[in-house]
């Protein structure tokens, strides 16, 4: 009886000791996490001060994603014998000059991807890689500071595709107005005097016009996270049919050294592109600006990222 009682006491003592140790470890872990958060907060504050210093700031980050697959006699799907694959990458780069009286901000975005689907039972199908996503954007903004957060500015922005129909269409915005920089990482541009030049072989669909240009860009790094959000919109004085906007977002989380996980997505609305697709791709020659469906354009890419 005494032995059983002694065993029970030992078990209870060990359990209490373990519970106490686990509680102490959890408390210590919470304290360490709070310390890490405090250190990260101080580091981010110093990083913001560095970003605000005069001189050039240059950087880039990107995302690479891809997959391959092969099926043989997989009868449950429509193409039982096939090989497929996709690959894509995104690069976001910037070169910004900050001085006491002026700034010059330059950025570029490239997003390209290819896909393939080889039906092994169809010798006449297209078994090569085909272009899927094709986005190219360059922006240059110069501003002369009237105050710490406001400047008169001039903007040049060029958007097109690289792989398919280069510069057809292509968009070049040139304008002047004001730029507001309320915080280090946010830039808001409003240019009421902007000319949107459109390059295209389809002159009866695409048209250049005068209007207002609005750009909002937020780029920041917080520890292992890097992200960029850019909204570019043009509102034509000539016709609402010539309005367009593009919103592109990129996120990157570094897991090990310079390698991590990246996610990109973009949204666009452009009625001229919708009409051109309906007429010249779908063959709907009767389509007009009044009848065409201007569906929201979207894309996204998920894959490995590399921080340059």
pLDDT digits (tens, 9 = 90+) for 174-226: 999 999 999 888 999 999 999 999 999 887 889 999 999 999 999 888 888 88
**What is the pLDDT confidence band of residue 234, given thresholds at 50, 70 and 90?**
very high
pLDDT of the residue at 307: 65
pLDDT at 49: 64
Q: Is the pLDDT of residue 12 over 50?
A: no
pLDDT of residue 17: 54
CA pair distance 25, 116, nearest whole angstrom: 52
Evaluate if residue 154 carries a pLDDT over 90: yes
C-alpha–C-alpha distance, residues 161 and 268, integer Å: 14
Which is higher by pLDDT, 44 or 242?
242
- Do residues 298 and 266 lie in contact, with contact meaning Cβ atoms separated by under 8 Å? yes
Indicate whether this model's pTM tops 0.85.
Answer: no
pLDDT at 92 over 90: no
CA distance 157 to 155: 7
Q: Where are the domains of the chain?
A: 1-52, 56-307
Tell me: pLDDT of 14 over 80.
Answer: no
Phi, psi of 22 (to 5 degrees): -65, -45
Beta partners for residue 261, in sequence order: 253, 304
**Please, which pLDDT band fits residue 295 given cuts at 50, 70 and 90?**
very high
Task: Please name the helix (run of DSSP H) or strand (run of DSSP E) that holds residue 12, with its range, or none.
Answer: helix 2-52
Q: Which two tokens stand for residue 160?
A: 């097109």
User: Nearest-CA neighbor of 87 among 44, 39, 130?
Assistant: 130
Long-range contacts of 157-160 (CB under 8 A, 24+ apart): 157/213, 157/215, 157/232, 159/232, 159/246, 160/136, 160/199
Classified by CATH at the fold level, domain 56-307 comes out as Outer membrane phospholipase (ompla); Chain C (2.40.230)
User: How far, in Å, CA of 216 to CA of 172, rounded?
Assistant: 17
* Mean pLDDT of the chain, nearest integer: 84
Q: CA neighbours within 13 Å on the CB side: how many for 44?
A: 15
Alpha carbons 213 and 235: distance in angstroms, whole number? 7
pLDDT of 305 > 80? The answer is no
Between CA 111 and CA 137 the distance in angstroms is 9
Question: Which tokens sit at 304?
Answer: 């490995």
Which tens digit of pLDDT belongs to each residue from 21-74?
767 766 777 766 666 666 666 666 666 666 666 789 888 878 787 777 888 877
Weakest mean pLDDT among 26-35, 106-115, 140-149, 227-236: 26-35
Task: Tell me what pLDDT residue 27 has.
Answer: 74
Distance CA(38)–CA(30), nearest Å, equals 12
pLDDT at 183: 87
Q: What is the pLDDT of residue 212?
A: 98
Mean pLDDT (whole number) for 131-154: 93
């Amino acid at each position: 009886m005494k032995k059983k009682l002694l065993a029970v006491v030992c078990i209870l003592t060990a359990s209490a000791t373990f519970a106490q140790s686990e509680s102490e470890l959890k408390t210590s872990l919470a304290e360490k996490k709070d310390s890490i958060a405090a250190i990260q907060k101080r580091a981010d504050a110093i990083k913001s001060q560095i970003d605000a210093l005069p001189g050039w700031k240059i950087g880039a980050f990107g995302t690479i994603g891809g997959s391959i697959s092969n099926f043989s006699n997989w009868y449950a799907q429509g193409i039982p014998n096939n090989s497929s694959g996709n690959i894509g990458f995104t690069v976001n780069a910037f070169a910004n000059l900050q001085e006491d009286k002026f700034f010059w901000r330059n950025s570029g975005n490239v997003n390209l991807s290819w896909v393939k689907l080889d039906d092994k039972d169809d010798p006449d199908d297209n078994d090569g890689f085909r272009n899927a996503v094709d986005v190219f954007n360059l922006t240059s903004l110069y501003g002369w500071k009237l105050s710490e957060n406001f400047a008169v500015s001039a903007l040049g922005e060029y958007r097109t595709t690289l792989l398919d129909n280069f510069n057809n269409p292509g968009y070049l915005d040139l304008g002047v107005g004001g730029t507001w920089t309320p915080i280090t990482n946010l830039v808001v541009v409003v240019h009421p005097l902007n000319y949107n030049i459109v390059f295209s072989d389809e002159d009866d669909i695409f048209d250049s016009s005068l209007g207002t240009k609005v750009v909002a860009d937020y780029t920041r790094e917080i520890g292992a996270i890097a992200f960029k959000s850019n909204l570019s919109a043009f509102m034509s004085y000539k016709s609402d049919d010539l309005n367009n906007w593009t919103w592109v977002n990129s996120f990157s989380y570094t897991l090990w050294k310079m390698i991590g996980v990246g996610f990109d997505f973009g949204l666009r609305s452009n009625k001229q592109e919708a009409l051109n697709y309906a007429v010249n791709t779908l063959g709907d020659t009767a389509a007009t600006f009044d009848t065409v469906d201007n569906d929201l354009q979207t894309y996204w890419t998920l894959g490995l990222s590399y921080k340059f």
